[in-house]
Amino acid sequence: MLKNTRLSVKLAASFLAMAVILLILGVLGIRGELSMRDHLVAMSQESLPAIVQLNRLNYERAQIRSQTYETKGLTTWGPRTRELLEQVLRQRVASWTIVEDALARLETLPQSVSEQAVFSALKTDYASWREHYAELDRLTRGMLDAQDQDTYSALLAQFAQRVDESFLVSDRVGVLIESLVALRNTSSGDRLTQALKEGDVMVMLYGIGMAMGLALAAILGFLITHSTLRQLGGEPARVVAIVNQLAEGDLTTRIQLRPGDETSLMASMARMVESMRRVLRDVSNASSQVSAAAVELSATSEETNQQVRVEQSETDQVATAMNEMTATVEEVARHAAAAARAAQDTDRETEAGGQVVAQTISAIDLLAQEVESASQVIARLSEDSTEIGAVLDVIRGVAEQTNLLALNAAIEAARAGEQGRGFAVVAAEVRTLASRTQSSIQDIQEKIERVQNGSAGAVAVMAKGQAMARESVAQAQRAGESLQAISAAITSINDMNRQIASAAEEQTAVAEEINRNIHTISTTVDQTAAGAAHIASASDELARLASMLQERVARFRL
């Protein structure tokens, strides 16, 4: 049965048997370790923490009892006593906090039935204990607030009476704590004993498994060694010697086989040597042909590589030119955009100037109308002064007639003598008035003439100003028309700038697309160059390998 079984199967079966034994031992060991671990974990996470909390609880109980003794011994009222009482109260609060924390932690830990019963009794006595100490704390605070020795002594006496009762409850709590500690110690001892028993069992199982493994290893080793030698076809040293000769390239080695040996390693090696002789003869012929083809391929690859380098250089020049053209087009686009913005600003300023010119035309029209109105007023003033001159002529004639009449009256008065003296005086006064009237009329006449002359000059100036205003209106209108023409030209320039910018953007996009295509071509050329270089390198490597192959084949002695 073992003769027809493969070596790998035999080895696998042997290793599998050993692995099964190791697996069984490992499973048993892991199971025992887990059981011991459970016991240790239970001790470390249940029993030990519970004992620690119980010891904390018992320690704080002793501390509270010591604080009570200390308070009972403070018989003298005074500042020092007050300080000690305050310290006791602070310590008492801290102790109760620790006690409550310990009880809370104990309640979270797993407990047996007996431990639960004792713990319930402990909580009941703890409640009674706190009630007694609540009264003691009240008396302590009263002693702290006492104002004289008598009050303090009375409260201290009540405190002493309550102390004995509280100590009885405290003792019960201590007994219950010690009972819980004893139960936890017993539980830990039981777990430790169980763990030791399981450890002894594991030691015995390990011993049995090791003995079985050694016996099985010895039996399988003998069987596999005998079967392996049969499959090798001889001793391993002889096989190694033949393999070393073959490794040195000596295919002339003759392999001696045992009678009837056709399936061993030695028989297979004999067939392999014969096959290798045939293959190496074919390889030697093929390597010569490959070497010649590799030389031709290397030359062709070198020519291709040179052409690719030329194309790569030209492509780089085109790419550089396209980059420069792209930069130029982008610069034109930026200038066109800037010119468009400047044209828009100029258009806005021209529109504002047109509005100013329109306002100026309106103002000049109003000024011309006012000048024309002033000219009309001055003309009427000239006409009125002319009429006043005519009236003055009439008044001057009347004054001359009056003067003549006064002269005649004076002559007649002189003829009358004394009787005409009074009339002569009146005639003289009339002549004086007539003379003064003529003088005033002369002054008025001169002033009217000056007014007339000024009115004529003003009329001429007003006419000239009116003509200039009309000319200004005409020039302002021509300026408005020029501004409108400028605005239209700027609008046309703006449209052309937009077209230029749009065309520049399109050219930029086209240039970028061309640049990308050139970059792609350049990348392709680079890849082609790299491929050509790789082919050349591969050709050289192929020639080298063909030469090496010929050298290696030449090492074999056929």
pLDDT single digits (tens) 249-306:
676 777 777 776 666 677 777 777 777 777 777 776 776 776 676 677 667 767 766 7
- Residue 228 and residue 124 in one domain: yes
| The domain boundary residue, chosen from 195, 214, 232 | 232
Let me know if residue 271 belongs to a domain: no
- Residue 288 and residue 151 in one domain: no
| The domain boundary residue, chosen from 175, 198, 232 | 232
Looking at residue 350, what is its pLDDT?
66
Alpha-helical segments (H) within 73-148 = 79-108, 113-145
- Residue 411 and residue 528 in one domain: yes
Percent of the chain whose predicted confidence (pLDDT) is above 90: 0
- Residue 214 and residue 296 in one domain: no
3-state SS, 205-269, equals HHHHHHHHHHHHHHHHHHHHHHHHHHHHCCCHHHHHHHHHHHHCCECCCCCCCCCCCCCCHHHHH
- Residue 214 and residue 282 in one domain: no
Which domain does 228 fall in, by range? 7-232
Looking at residue 551, what is its pLDDT?
73
When comparing pLDDT for 207 and 330, which is higher? 207
Looking at residue 528, what is its pLDDT?
64
- Residue 362 and residue 467 in one domain: yes
Let me know if residue 269 belongs to a domain: no
Let me know if residue 244 belongs to a domain: no
Q: What is the mean pLDDT of residues 332-343?
A: 69
- Residue 51 and residue 166 in one domain: yes
Let me know if residue 99 belongs to a domain: yes
- Residue 202 and residue 336 in one domain: no
Please check whether residue 466 is in contact with residue 372, taking contact to mean a CB–CB distance below 8 angstroms.
yes
557: three-class secondary structure by DSSP:
strand
Specify the CATH number for the domain of residue 42.
1.20.120.1730
Let me know if residue 354 belongs to a domain: yes
Residue 68 binned pLDDT confidence (cut-offs 50, 70, 90): confident
Q: How far is CA 202 from the centre of its chain?
A: 61
Let me know if residue 162 belongs to a domain: yes
- Write the pLDDT tens digit of every residue in 200-234: 777 788 788 788 878 887 887 777 776 676 666 66
Tokens encoding 376: 């009309």
Looking at residue 61, what is its pLDDT?
83
Q: What is the mean pLDDT of residues 109-126?
A: 84
Phi and psi for 87 in degrees, rounded to 5? Answer: -65, -40
- Residue 228 and residue 283 in one domain: no
Tally the domains of the chain.
2
When comparing pLDDT for 459 and 98, which is higher? 98
Residue 2, pLDDT above cutoff 60: no
When comparing pLDDT for 234 and 72, which is higher? 72
Average pLDDT, the chain: 75
Residue 385, pLDDT above cutoff 70: no
Q: What is the mean pLDDT of residues 73-78?
A: 81
- Residue 399 and residue 535 in one domain: yes
- Residue 197 and residue 72 in one domain: yes
Specify the CATH number for the domain of residue 361.
1.10.287.950
Let me know if residue 1 belongs to a domain: no
- Residue 301 and residue 228 in one domain: no
Let me know if residue 253 belongs to a domain: no
| The domain boundary residue, chosen from 167, 201, 232 | 232
Looking at residue 182, what is its pLDDT?
85
Residue 176 CA to residue 115 CA, distance in Å, equals 10
